Amino acid sequence: MPQIIVEDLVKTFRVAERRPGLWGALRGVVRRRHRIVRALDGVSFALEPGELVGYIGPNGAGKSTTVKILAGILVPDAGRCEVLGRVPWHKRLDNARDVGVVFGQRTQLWWDLPVIESFELLRDIYRVEPAVYGRNRDELVALLDLEPLLDVPVRQLSLGQRMRCDLAASLLHAPPLVYLDEPTIGLDAVSKLAVRDFVKRLKRERGVTIILTTHDMDDIEALCQRILVIDEGRILSDGTLEQLRARVTPERWLTVDLVDSDADVTDPDATVIRREGHRMTLRFDPQEVSVPELIGRVSANYAIRDLFVENPPIEEIVARIYGDRRT
Amino acid sequence: MRAYWAIFQARFRVLLQYRAAALAGFGTQVFFGFVRVMVFDAFYRSSSSVQPMTFPEVVTYVWLGQAMLLLVLFRPDVEVRTMIRTGTVAYELVRPLDLYALWFSRTLAARTGPVLLRAVPMFIVAGLFLGLEAPASWVCAFLWVAATLAAVLLSAAVATLLTVMLLWTVSGEGLAALGPAMVFIFSGMIIPLPLWPEWAQPLLDFLPFRGMADVPFRIYMGHIPPGEAVYALLHQAVWIAVFIAAGRWLLARGTRRLVVQGG
* Cβ partners under 8 Å of residue A204, min gap 6: none
Asked if B10's CB is within 8 angstroms of A96's CB, the reply is: no
**Which among A278, A275, A231, A272 is positioned nearest to A253, based on CA atoms?**
A272
Q: Is A119 on the interface with B (CB under 8 A)?
A: no
Residue in chain A nearest B14 by alpha carbon: A112
A-interface mutation test, from B91, B92, B98, B257, most A Cβ less than 10 A away: B91
Q: Is B86 on the interface with A (CB under 8 A)?
A: yes
Q: Please, are residues B221 and B192 in contact by the beta-carbon 8 Å criterion? A: no
Q: Is A213 on the interface with B (CB under 8 A)?
A: no
Q: Is B19 on the interface with A (CB under 8 A)?
A: no
Q: Please, are residues A125 and B96 in contact by the beta-carbon 8 Å criterion? A: yes
Residues A72-106: tens digit of each pLDDT: 888 888 899 999 999 988 888 888 899 999 988 88
Nearest Cα of chain B lies from the Cα of A253 at a distance, in angstroms, of: 28
Asked if A110's CB is within 8 angstroms of B93's CB, the reply is: no
Higher pLDDT, A45 or A215: A45
Pseudo-torsion of CA B114, B116, B121, B126, nearest 10°?
100
Higher pLDDT, A311 or A208: A208
Higher pLDDT, B102 or A216: B102
Rounded CA gap, B36 and B27, in Å? Answer: 14
Q: Is B17 on the interface with A (CB under 8 A)?
A: yes
CA distances from B110 to A3, A141, A250, B168, B169 (A): 41, 31, 57, 22, 22
Rounded CA gap, B17 and B20, in Å? Answer: 8
Q: Is B202 on the interface with A (CB under 8 A)?
A: no
Domain ranges in chain B?
A: 2-256
Give chain B positions within 8 Å (CB) of A106.
86-88, 90-91
Residue in chain B nearest A99 by alpha carbon: B94
Shortest CB distance from B260 goes to which of A74, A96, A108? A74
Residues B21-48: tens digit of each pLDDT: 888 888 888 999 989 999 999 988 888 7
Q: Is B88 on the interface with A (CB under 8 A)?
A: yes
pLDDT at B237 over 90: yes
Residues A1-46: tens digit of each pLDDT: 788 999 999 988 877 766 677 776 676 666 667 778 888 888 999 9
Rounded CA gap, B157 and A290, in Å? Answer: 69
Q: Is B170 on the interface with A (CB under 8 A)?
A: no
Strand, helix or coil for residue A154: helix
Higher pLDDT, A213 or B261: A213
Strand, helix or coil for residue B246: helix
Q: Is A36 on the interface with B (CB under 8 A)?
A: no
Nearest 5°: CA angle at A269, between A267 and A270? Answer: 70
Predicted TM-score (pTM) of the model is 0.80
Give chain B positions within 8 Å (CB) of A107.
88
- Is CATH 3.40.50.300 correct for A49-246? yes
**Which among B211, B219, B34 is positioned nearest to B126, based on CA atoms?**
B34
Q: Please, are residues B97 and A72 in contact by the beta-carbon 8 Å criterion? A: no
Compute the mean pLDDT over every residue in chain A, rounded to the nearest whole number: 85
Let me know how long chain A is.
327
pLDDT at B187 over 70: yes
What angle in degrees, to the nearest 10, is found between the helix axes of A115-126 and A159-169? 20
Strand, helix or coil for residue B70: helix
Nearest 5°: CA angle at B196, between B191 and B199? Answer: 155
Question: Which H/E stretch holds residue A36?
Answer: strand A33-47
Domain ranges in chain A?
A: 49-246, 251-311
Pseudo-torsion of CA B238, B240, B244, B246, nearest 10°?
60
Interface of A with B in 79-98 (CB under 8 A): 92-94, 96-97
Pseudo-torsion of CA A185, A182, A159, B5, nearest 10°?
160
For residue A85, count CB atoms less than 10 angstroms from its CB and return exposed for 0-12, middle for 13-18, buried for 19 or more: exposed
Nearest Cα of chain A lies from the Cα of B17 at a distance, in angstroms, of: 10
**Which among A164, A176, A178, A172 is positioned nearest to A132, based on CA atoms?**
A172
DSSP string, A106-146: S--S-TTSBHHHHHHHHHHHHT--HHHHHHHHHHHHHHHT-
Interface of B with A in 216-235 (CB under 8 A): none
Among A166-175, A236-245, B184-193, whose mean pLDDT is lowest? A236-245
Shortest CB distance from A96 goes to which of B87, B95, B256? B95
B-interface mutation test, from A108, A179, A215, most B Cβ less than 10 A away: A108
